[in-house]
Amino acid sequence: MNKSAPIVKGDTVDSETRCTHYHTDKDIIAIKFYCCNTYYPCYQCHNGYADHDIKKWPKAMFNEKAILCGVCKHELSIHEYLTCNSTCPHCRSSFNPGCSLHGHIYFEQKS
């Protein structure tokens, strides 16, 4: 039995998790936010819909599934995502490498 894909909230523009803020061919991930356990395509969508500030995922929880591939709906752990070289390990779709520029918003950074 296949489980259904997680719900992605925010200003999505298609079924592959692109949003009004980020919608190139490679903008196909959603992030489960630590603060609310809810998937959004980006921090701007979170800020527009959630009634609270973003809390970063602590390094100790990087084995938690918190990244959704919009193409195949596979959930990656944060560690898998940070080490996947911008490619889904399940379907081989390319993720936007520019997303790493926002990592400090979502994930506790190395000391």
pLDDT lower than 70: segments of the chain: 1-3, 111
Please give the Cα distance from 15 to 76 (Å, whole number): 18
> In the prediction, which pLDDT does 4 show?
85
Please give the Cα distance from 27 to 37 (Å, whole number): 21
SS3 101: helix
> In the prediction, which pLDDT does 1 show?
45
Q: How far is CA 13 from CA 27, 49, 70, 78, in A?
A: 11, 15, 12, 24
Give helix then strand counts, H and E, for the chain.
3, 4
